[in-house]
Amino acid sequence: MVRQWQGKVYEVVTVEQGYMYDGQKYRSLSEIARAITGTRRSGPAFFGLKQKSREAA
């Protein structure tokens, strides 16, 4: 997955039982989103994987 945030590009690779980002293995996308942003965020939403409800669309 690739995500651009605040002018920088971040790349995450899915591996067995987790994700790799910046040479480290993480258990969840939310942990990676927190590492990137410094705030608690939904990882799937941050990486654009969470579907919006019909009402929001």
What pLDDT, on a 0 to 100 scale, did the predictor assign at position 50?
80
User: Is 37 part of a structural domain of the chain?
Assistant: yes
Task: Judge whether 26 lies within some domain.
Answer: yes
Question: Average of pLDDT values for 25-54?
Answer: 90
Residue 57 forms part of a structural domain: no
Domain count, the chain: 1
Q: Supply the range of the domain harboring residue 6.
A: 2-46
Residue 27 belongs to a domain:
yes
Cα 33 to Cα 23, 45, 54: the distances in Å are: 15, 9, 25
Specify the pTM.
0.82
Residues 5, 36 contacting (CB under 8 angstroms): yes
Tell me, yes or no, whether 24 lies in a domain: yes
29 falls within a domain: yes
- Asked whether the predicted pLDDT for residue 57 surpasses 90, the reply is no
pLDDT band at 55 (very low <50, low <70, confident <90, very high): low
